[in-house]
Amino acid sequence: MSNNTITATDYNFPGQKNVYKGKVREVYTLNNDLLVMIATDRLSAFDVVMPRGIPYKGQILNQIATKMMKATEDIVPNWLIATPDPNVAVGHKCTPFKVEMVIRGYLSGHAAREYHAGKRLLCGVPMPEGMKENDKFPEPIITPSTKADNGAHDEDISREDILKKDIVSEEDYTQLEVYTKALFQRGTEIASKQGLILVDTKYEFGKTSDGKIVLIDEIHTPDSSRYFYADGYQERQDKGEKQKQLSKEFVRQWLIENGFQGKEGQQIPDMTDEYINSVSERYIELYEQITGETFRRADISNIQARIEKNVLAYLNSES
């Protein structure tokens, strides 16, 4: 593995209890109920982790998520305490709700595929007749999914089923809906200032040990959200053209064109240095478009050592 991307970690921080390795993030739990979450440069598409990392991707996602957490903490408290390194977030340990709150302002992606297949109900929510792909819904709709364990696909679920199966209590779920709508409204306003449309996104919530609902994981990043460019949106809709979008959809499209959709027996196409660098450049463009700030590349001569040094310095300063 080259030193200029981080695709796996193996740290032993003071008071470390366990490590959870997700598709893209690695989460270290410390015994004072702190989580150290490391955003790696791994790239996942179709629920498959690609063989090579993307330079700066972890930094980009971590920094967008941090910025968006700070821009929404007046709406809903969140898990985040500090970001001691460009790739690292430190926060409170929470018990996650077993649902992802997906909210959609437009008929895109999964919703559009279901609609084209003739369905007019998504997660128990009606979708109006006569819509075409990427049209705006009259009101944003919440289409939750169950959080799958160990890498299986997340599944659509209705509000009714969530309550009936007692996955979340009615009181908590009602609060999650209120938070989800308010966050999406704020995300829409932030995007609009950057000439973007927040099309759809997902939020994850957890409960702290004292029973407070908080926002966890990443928010409003190109990995968890879909953005369109506002300029020319209506014109493209009127002409039936594809929308110009900011998300990792461009990676999925490239994989599909090269015969890969995560199905059994399919080979991941070869990712050349040139292709990897082009993906890195696209992620930097995403960062700058979404935040309105110039991206500052962190020193990646030895990311592993840099992260360890920064996390230890933070933990020492807090102890």
Question: Could you read off the pLDDT of 243-293 as tens digits, one per residue?
Answer: 988 878 788 889 999 999 989 999 999 999 999 999 999 999 989 999 999
> In this predicted structure, what is the pLDDT of residue 58?
96
pLDDT in tens, 80-113: 999 999 999 999 999 999 999 999 999 998 999 9
State pTM to two decimals.
0.91
**SS3 (DSSP) at 103:** strand
Compute the distance between CA of residue 285 and CA of residue 292 in angstroms, rounded to an integer.
Answer: 10
pLDDT at position 151, please?
A: 54
Asked if 43 and 178 count as a contact pair (C-beta separation under 8 A), the reply is no
Whether residue 47 is predicted with pLDDT greater than 90 in this model: the reply is no
Mean pLDDT over all residues of the chain? 94
List alpha helices for the chain, DSSP H. 57-70, 109-116, 159-164, 170-193, 233-239, 249-257, 273-291, 303-318
The residues near 77 (Cβ < 8 Å, ≥ 6 apart) are: 212, 213, 214, 215
- How large is the average pLDDT for residues 200-227? 94
Query: What would the pLDDT profile of 26-35 be if each residue is shown by its tens digit?
Result: 999 998 889 9
Instruction: Determine what percent of the chain falls in helix, strand and coil, rounding each to the nearest 5.
Output: 30, 25, 40
Structure confidence at residue 2 as a pLDDT band (50, 70, 90): very low
| Residue-level pLDDT at 150 | 56
Decide: residue 223, CB within 10 A, 0-12 exposed, 13-18 middle, 19+ buried: buried
| pLDDT band of 153, cuts 50, 70, 90 | low
Residue with tokens 């500052």: 296
Percent of the chain with pLDDT over 70: 97
The alpha carbon of residue 122 and the mean position of all alpha carbons in its chain are separated, in whole angstroms, by: 21
Q: With pLDDT > 90 as the criterion, what percentage of the chain qualifies?
A: 84
CATH topology of domain 96-246: D-amino Acid Aminotransferase; Chain A, domain 1 (3.30.470)
Mean pLDDT of 204-216: 95
The answer, yes or no, to whether residue 36 has pLDDT greater than 90, is yes
**Interhelix angle 273-291/57-70, nearest 10 degrees:** 10
Q: Residue 61: helix, strand or coil by DSSP?
A: helix
Q: 201 and 227 in contact (C-beta within 8 Å)?
A: no
The residue among 125, 162, 120 whose CA lies nearest residue 143 is: 125
Q: Class of 16-94+254-318 per CATH?
A: alpha beta
The two structure tokens encoding residue 155: 């599944």
The residues spanned by each domain of the chain are 16-94+254-318, 96-246
| Dihedral of the alpha carbons of 256, 258, 263, 267, in degrees to the nearest 10 | -160
3-state secondary structure of 71: coil
